[in-house]
Amino acid sequence: MTDSKISSWRFFFSLPLAQRVAITLWITLLVALTIKTILKPTSHSVFPVYFKAGISWWQQVDIYQVNQGIDHYRYSPTAAIFFSVFTLMGITLGAILWNICSIMVFITGCNRFRETLLVHGSTVNKECGGFFIISLFAALSGIWNSQCNAFIIGLILHGATDLIEEKSNRAALALAFAFMIKSTILPILALLVLVRPIPLFPKLLLAISALILFPFLTSPTAYVLAEYHSWYEHLQDTKGLRWPGFRDAWYGWLVFQEQLHPGNFNDQLWSIPTNFLYKLLQLLTGFATAAIVIYWKARVTDKVELIFRSIALGMVWILLFGPASEFPTFAFIAPFLGWAWLERKTWDNGKFLLTTSLLLILFLGWQNFTFPLRNHLPVLLSALPAGTICFAFWLIMQTHFKFSHWSISGDSHE
């Protein structure tokens, strides 16, 4: 064994136990995902959807057509061109490279988020092992089936960090690219513009416009226009569709109703939320989220924490009341659950809320565990929205406690 290998092993074993466990788990995940992809490249993976869209784009075939045996492609033409980079590698190698890319963007985004708060001094706990372990398990469902949620939250964290570091051009590009892949993150962009309108808003509009126009450089104008029209029609046709994988507030309401009036629960799982009161609740909670961020902006002098806490609160709203929240989507709050673990000692009275949130999301929120029990214990299926609500209360109350405490401490010191 060479000296460099010995030195690497010594460095590894010199790390705290939690960090060694985190590194081992992430490497194990990457290896296992690679082996699964080699053996069964199309099994339990959405990459074939991206693969088909990438091929169809360069063949000038409608990328939103129904593909038998795989799901619909739901993202923008710009995203299809991006996915075609992996498509050119073939279904197996392309899937492997996409998984590596997605994980790397997620990990580096999470690490920049964590280090920014540590360097800034607003987070005291420097133990990153627990942060990355929690982030892995919270995001695992979406990473394992090759969805783009981990990639998107990584882009958002990179964009937010760039915004903090006054790299507004890079920030706008990262955020705009995340939006072009998944338009459901629009509330996050709106909250960031609310917090930092200048210079983000004009540059974000410019970046989104450039990405929308980019496909015209790759294909005939008539085809690109037709694809944008197909994308719009597809979004209109599928916006009301639901399946039992959705885990939002409406789903929690169905579970609650089942406890009061047992009935044909499996049929109810597919119901569309047409209730006027629920629609009103979505609207009111959206306004409440914006109002809380405005309140934080007026009271929280720490602009670094303000940006990340606003993103975390926006992610909570998306998961509870947004148009598409399923098991893999919970990657959206994965890094914020890990960060909350670092912050756990800053508010002693909130430990119960945080522990409950982690228990519900990381353990009871597993589909393979809860779904077979849905006929016997349907209440378990509300674990993810219930855990998200607990995290929302922890986030709001901990923010109020922490910054009120800092204000009092500062006044006393002076």
Cα 380 from Cα 370, distance rounded (Å): 6
pLDDT given at position 294: 94
- Which residues of the chain fall short of a pLDDT of 70? 1-8, 68-69, 121-126, 239-246, 264-266, 324-325, 367-371, 373-375, 405-414
C-alpha separations of 394 from 80, 281, 391 in Å:
38, 21, 5
Q: 347-373 pLDDT, tens per residue?
A: 888 999 999 999 989 887 776 666 676
| Helix 17-39 / helix 3-14 crossing angle, nearest 10 deg | 120
Question: What is the distance of C-alpha 17 from the center of its chain?
Answer: 27
Per DSSP, the chain holds a count of helices (H) and strands (E) of 19, 0
What is the CB neighbour count within 10 angstroms for residue 216?
Answer: 14
Domain segments of the chain as ranges: 16-409
pLDDT given at position 241: 67
Instruction: Supply the pTM of this predicted model.
Output: 0.91
In this structure, what DSSP letter does residue 127 have?
-
Amino acid at position 229, single letter: H
Q: 22-81 pLDDT, tens per residue?
A: 999 999 999 999 999 999 888 888 999 999 999 999 999 999 987 766 778 889 999 999
